[in-house]
Amino acid sequence: MKAITIRGIDPFVSEKLKQAAKTEGKSVNQLVLDLIKHRVGAKKDKKFTKKHRELDHLFGKWSRDEFERIQGIIDSQRKIDGELWQ
């Protein structure tokens, strides 16, 4: 693996890189590598990776009885009607 030294990074850019790396949970080195790979076309943006959190407040709210009742309804709707498929 080759190493590249980048000289002449001013303090403003250095600070912005550190902030961006912290925000993304990466090291500055990994952030810069990702930026370079993306710029030269070696790394593509991931599609369909957005996390949706709108329903998180509902997680874990059903009682066991509610879960069993709802799951029973779902299971009954998943049964294949043999007459319809003949």
pLDDT 10s per residue in the chain (86 long)?
788 999 999 999 999 999 999 999 999 999 999 999 989 988 777 777 788 888 888 888 888 999 999 999 999 999 888 888 77
Closest CA to 72 of 81, 64, 83: 64
Supply 82's token pair: 């043999």
pTM for this model (two decimals): 0.50
Distance CA 72, CA 32 (A): 51
Structural domain of residue 17, as residue ranges? 1-45
Number of structural domains found in the chain:
1
Q: Are 6 and 13 in contact (CB under 8 A)?
A: no
Query: Does residue 74 lie within any of the structural domains?
Result: no
